[in-house]
Structure formats: C-alpha cells, structure tokens
Chain A
Amino acid sequence: MPVFWLLTGLLLVCAVALGTMVALPFGRYPVAMTTAFVVFGMYAVPFVLFIVNLDHLEREPPILLATAFTWGAVVVTATAVPGNVAADNLIAKLVSPRFAAMWGPALAGPTVEETLKFLGVLVIALLAAAQVNSVVDGMVYGAMVGLGYQVMENVSYAAMAVQAAGTGDRVEPVFTTLIARGILAGPWSHTVFTALAGAGVGYAVVRVDRSRAARAGVAGLCLGGAWLCHFLWNSPLLAGGFGLGTPGQVAVLLIKGGPVLGLALALAHLARVREGDYYANVLAALADRRIVTPTELGALSSLGGRARLRRAAYARAGGAGDRAARRLQDAQSRLAVELSRGTTADGGLTAEAAAHAREVLRARHSLAALGLGPASSRRPFAGSTVMWLIGAWVTVFGALGLALMLRALT
C-alpha cells in the first residue's frame, strides 16, 4: 500500500533530521536533556491512559496508536521546525519584525503544525481505514498525534530554557518547563487541538452515507476549529494577565484553554454516546438475550454504566466477577464492531462475527459459573483504575505546580 511506504520513508528521513536536531543540545547538556526526555516521557503516560480509554467499546491497536504518536513526535517535529521558522520570518519580512513578534506564533504555529498533525491522522486513516470506525476513533488517533508532538515540543522548549538560563547542564529549567508548559498549559494544548481535527477525519471516514463534499467540509471545519483554538492560544490577547502577575497569567491560561478542553471533551462524550447507541442497536438487532440483555445494552454507551455493572459483579463475586464481567463487555463490543462491518451475502453472521458471538457466550457462561445472572445492579460508579491513576497524577503535579507558583509569588 503506497501510504505504508510513504509513512516508512518519512519516519526514516525525519528520524535522522530529528536526531541531528537533538544531538547538539544532548552533547552540551546530557543530564538536563536526559532528564527532559524522562520527565516528559512520564508526563505522557496519564495522557495515553486517558486517550486509549476514550473509546471503551473498541480499543485501538497499540501499533497504530504508537504510529500516531511517532508521527507527532518525529515527522511533525522534524518538519514543523523549519516550516515555523520560515513562516515566522516571512511574516517579519512581509509585514514587520514587531508584527511577527506579536502575531507570528499565532499565525505561523497553527498553520504549519495543525496541517502537519492533521496529515498524521489522514495517514492513519489511509493505512488502516478499517480501524477508524467512529468519530471517537478519529479523536483518539488525533490526540495521539498531538501528544507525540506536544512531548517533543516540550523537550525542545526545555532545551531552550536550559540554554537561556546560562547556568550550564542544570535540570532546574527542565522542571520549570514542566510546570509552565506541561502542567499549566498541557491539558489544553496539541493533544486537544488535534483531537478536534481528528474528529473531522473520523467523520469523513465513517459517514459514507453523506456526500464526499459534506464529509470533506466537516473535516475542513474541524481542522479550521483546531487552527482557531491554536491561534487563540498563541495569540497575544490577554497576554498582560490583567496586570495581576502570576495569578493573572494562570487566569488567562484557564480562560484561553478551558473552553477548548471543554469543547473537546463534550465532543468526545457526544460522539461516544452516539457510537454506543449505534453499536447497541446493532447488538439489539440480534434479539438474543444470551448475547446482550436490555440492562447491558443500556450500559453499552456509558463508561460509568459499564463500570457500574462490573462493580456489581465485583460486589457479588470479587475480582473473578469483575474480570468475567469485563470479558463479557469486551466480547460484546468486539461483536458489535464486527457486526457493523457487514454480514454475509445471505444476511448471516460473518466467520469473525460468529467467533465473537461464541466468545460472548463463553464469557456469559463464566459469569453464570460464578453465580452471576443478568446484570441489573444500581451500585454507584466509584471510578476505574485508570481514573484513579489520572486523578493521582493530576493531584501530585497540581500540588507541585501550586507550590512552585506560591514560591515564585512570595
């Protein structure tokens, strides 16, 4: 497939270019740069956990998620650096250095970076179209592309901070960068921008019932939305922080970034509910209570609903109950996705769908063996392991950021 060779070639060429870029700061500041890679590598972990759990019905193949991340980290970084510099210079030459200083990052950054990241989602869609089954899938791959670039951009900013500090191979500027760009600016940065753009790619790929122009229009609209969010984020608007110093700057971050993050999460929620309803209808059409019960159908579109059923199983049969309930839900999801791919010529189940149906029945028998009948618990959702991990990460790094801000203020 041509896109595979395009991807391979670009990854090779851009990896060499990126290696050349990082070799110099690595040679000058080995301790600081190693710290930057480790810190921002760890920083990416909760983002990845959150992103892969966005689509709980159909987990994306790890190899494709890794490819999306690598596109962002390697291809986008290696090509955006010369593109950004050139675009910023052109603005300075065609308008003025002062205009470029104020508006260059807002105009050049989104134009170059959002385009390159968007192409990464397109490459994934061309490479494995069968894996892009929903708008949520597009958001997941978009978020991974954005995260890859966000991590490498933060590493490059850390290198620049170390150089600007003029104190040699010290790690303090790395942690300052982590607080400023990772924690305070990170939650509403490239990951969110490209998730929005990816939603458009997801729509364009799956809504084959719409005209090509309509699908291209929605994809373009989503890319435009991502560009606009990035533009506003980079713009000098409210740069003064209302004259309130650090608290004012933090307030501006929230004002500029909060709505973007809210928009992305709301879009993801709506798309997920729609996807869940779609797959629930696919399963309901089987009209087989051994495959799925009405209660399970109701829970299919909700992460909380699924967790509620698992916790009910846990309450009655411990960890084995929880695992058996999870196996059933995962098997039902796989069956629903397979059913959505179509049927045999005579309307029957494909071989893959039949295999997944047997998988569901085996999971159902495992539950029954534990004495668990059809699920109907109303036990309140108490959170999944992933959510606890993310919560712990936010708490620890939030406390760290707050402590450093207070220290800077006093």
Chain B
Amino acid sequence: MGVPHGGLHRNAACSLAILAVIATISLGLPALDRAFPGERAVASGVVYAVTDGVTVVPPAGARLDVSQTRPGRDSGYAMFLVGRVRFAILVTPDRITTAAAADRLRTRLRDGLGASTTGAESPTPSGALTGRFHAGADGGWYAVRVLGSTTVVDATASGPPDELARWLPAIEAAAASIARAA
C-alpha cells in the first residue's frame, strides 16, 4: 500500500480517454447500429415463429424489422413492415380474458403512443377482438387474442391512413393466421 501521486498531464490524458470511451458507447454504438440495415425480407407464405409456441404467416411482401423483433420461449415480439405500415405482434404468457387483454392493450396504446381508440370493438371468427385507433397523423388497427387461455397475443398495425387502408386486408389475414406452433 502507498499513496499515489499523479501529474496534470496524466490526469488530462486519462480524462480524455474516459471521455472517448463514453462517447464510443453512447454515440458510436448507436451510429454503428444505424449504419447496418435492420430490415430483412421474409419468405412469402412461410410461418414465422414469434415465440417457441406461437407462429404467424406474415403478409406477402412484408419485411422483418430485426431491431424490433425478439422471439423468445414463452414471450416475444415481432415487427413487420408492410409498405409504410408497421405491423407488430406481441406475445405474453398471461391468464386473462380476451376482453381484459383488449382493455390492457387500449391502455398501453394510450399511454405508449398517445393513441385514441375510435369506434366499437368487434369480434372475429378466430375469437379475436379488433378495433381502430389513431395516434397523431397515423391511423391504427389492433386485434387481441387469447390462445389456450394462457397466451395473450396483441397485434397492432399503424401508419399513414391511406397505406393502412390499402394493406389492412392482408394484415387482417396475417393476424388471423396467428396460431399455436404445431
């Protein structure tokens, strides 16, 4: 043990080195991330596993945003880009009813995107509850399903209203294809 003594030059050099490392992490890494493309083409008509137990058939021509996609074992999420519309699927393990899950999703949309839901929810033949929302200039659509009473699937699509209207049939078909993995 002893008592250290450091010079001004060494102090300045170390300070610059520390600043360089911090800048590399907080600015350099994000710049590097932006430099790599994050979109991947997905094969048309081929199922994509959002989790080990839940799959979806993405809309034809959709691209996968790998930055917003993390398939897990029981929970996971995936983001597909269809034209300028973002089609997101979130899978979580939970024991709640479809109505409660839809209520939770509406609250998340309100808190997360500042979205307002419009119109009434309507059930689909697959057992989902669907509805519409808008967030700023974007229009939105959502569907909520509960698979096997323990898995909640939230599907949302948002984008410019004209684009959303154009792609919505394909997105609705993709949402209807969400199923438990074989």
**Complex contact B36–A94 (CB within 8 A):** yes
Binary per-residue interface labels of chain B (103-143) against chain A in the complex, 1 for a CB within 8 Å, 0 otherwise: 11111100110000000000000000000000000000000
Task: Report A94-131 residues with CB < 8 Å from chain B CB.
Answer: 94, 96-98, 100-102, 104, 112, 115-116, 119, 122-123, 125-126, 129-130
A-B contact pairs, 19 of them (CB 8 A): A2-B15, A2-B16, A3-B18, A6-B19, A82-B29, A83-B30, A86-B30, A89-B67, A92-B38, A93-B33, A97-B71, A97-B78, A112-B29, A122-B14, A134-B1, A166-B105, A166-B108, A168-B107, A239-B73
Q: How far is the CB of A73 from chain B (nearest CB, A)?
A: 15
Interface size on A, residues (CB 8 A): 59
Q: How far is the CB of B102 from chain A (nearest CB, A)?
A: 10
By a CB distance below 8 angstroms, the chain B residues around A86 are 29-30, 32-33
Q: Residues on B close to A: CB < 8 A?
A: 1-6, 8, 11-12, 14-16, 18-19, 21-22, 25-27, 29-30, 32-33, 36-38, 64, 66-67, 69-73, 76, 78, 103-108, 111-112
Task: Report A170-223 residues with CB < 8 Å from chain B CB.
Answer: 205-209
Answer whether A3 and B36 are a contact pair too, CB < 8 Å, given A79-B26, A132-B4, A133-B3. no
By a CB distance below 8 angstroms, the chain A residues around B67 are 89, 92-93
Q: A101-B71, A166-B106, A207-B2 are in contact. List 7 more A-B contacts (CB 8 A).
A: A83-B25, A93-B38, A98-B71, A112-B25, A122-B18, A126-B14, A163-B108
Interface centre among A28, A83, A342, by most chain B C-beta atoms within 10 angstroms, is A83
| Contact of A313 with B by CB under 8 A | no
By a CB distance below 8 angstroms, the chain A residues around B72 are 101-102
- Dominant secondary structure at the A interface: helix
By a CB distance below 8 angstroms, the chain B residues around A96 are 66
Cα of A126 to Cα of B111 in the assembled complex, Å: 44
Cα of A206 to Cα of B6 in the assembled complex, Å: 12
Q: How far is the CB of B8 from chain A (nearest CB, A)?
A: 7
Q: How far is the CB of B62 from chain A (nearest CB, A)?
A: 15
**Complex contact B8–A115 (CB within 8 A):** no
Interface centre among B11, B37, B76, B103, by most chain A C-beta atoms within 10 angstroms, is B11
Q: How far is the CB of A61 from chain B (nearest CB, A)?
A: 16
By a CB distance below 8 angstroms, the chain A residues around B69 are 92, 97
Answer whether A206 and B1 are a contact pair too, CB < 8 Å, given A89-B33, A163-B112. yes
Task: Report A57-104 residues with CB < 8 Å from chain B CB.
Answer: 75, 78-80, 82-83, 85-87, 89-90, 92-94, 96-98, 100-102, 104
For residue A108, which residue of chain B has the nearest CB? B29
Q: How far is the CB of B164 from chain A (nearest CB, A)?
A: 23
| Contact of A10 with B by CB under 8 A | yes
Q: Which of B25, B29, B30, B107 contacts A167 (CB 8 A)?
A: B107
Q: Which of B4, B25, B70, B103 contacts A100 (CB 8 A)?
A: B70
By a CB distance below 8 angstroms, the chain B residues around A119 are 18, 21-22
Interface centre among B8, B25, B107, by most chain A C-beta atoms within 10 angstroms, is B25
**Complex contact A341–B26 (CB within 8 A):** no
Q: How far is the CB of B5 from chain A (nearest CB, A)?
A: 7
Cα of A6 to Cα of B23 in the assembled complex, Å: 12
Interface centre among A75, A89, A96, by most chain B C-beta atoms within 10 angstroms, is A89
| Contact of A408 with B by CB under 8 A | no
Answer whether A340 and B18 are a contact pair too, CB < 8 Å, given A82-B26, A86-B29, A97-B70. no
Q: Residues on A close to B: CB < 8 A?
A: 1-3, 5-6, 10, 28-29, 75, 78-80, 82-83, 85-87, 89-90, 92-94, 96-98, 100-102, 104, 112, 115-116, 119, 122-123, 125-126, 129-130, 132-134, 163-168, 205-209, 239, 275, 278, 340-342
By a CB distance below 8 angstroms, the chain B residues around A92 are 38, 66-67, 69-70
**Complex contact B12–A166 (CB within 8 A):** no
For residue A132, which residue of chain B has the nearest CB? B4
By a CB distance below 8 angstroms, the chain A residues around B4 are 125, 129-130, 132, 205-206, 208
For residue B34, which residue of chain A has the nearest CB? A86
Cα of A9 to Cα of B179 in the assembled complex, Å: 53
By a CB distance below 8 angstroms, the chain A residues around B104 are 165-167
By a CB distance below 8 angstroms, the chain A residues around B30 are 82-83, 85-86
Closest CB pairs A-B (n = 6): A166-B104, A86-B29, A101-B70, A86-B33, A79-B26, A83-B25
**Complex contact B18–A166 (CB within 8 A):** no
For residue A125, which residue of chain B has the nearest CB? B4
Q: Which of A90, A165, A278 contacts B36 (CB 8 A)?
A: A90
For residue B109, which residue of chain A has the nearest CB? A166
By a CB distance below 8 angstroms, the chain B residues around A133 are 1, 3
By a CB distance below 8 angstroms, the chain A residues around B66 are 89, 92-93, 96-97, 100
For residue A25, which residue of chain B has the nearest CB? B111
Cα of A92 to Cα of B33 in the assembled complex, Å: 10
By a CB distance below 8 angstroms, the chain A residues around B70 are 92, 97, 100-101, 104
**Complex contact A341–B29 (CB within 8 A):** no
For residue B13, which residue of chain A has the nearest CB? A2
Answer whether A3 and B107 are a contact pair too, CB < 8 Å, given A86-B32, A119-B21, A163-B112. no
**Complex contact A129–B5 (CB within 8 A):** yes
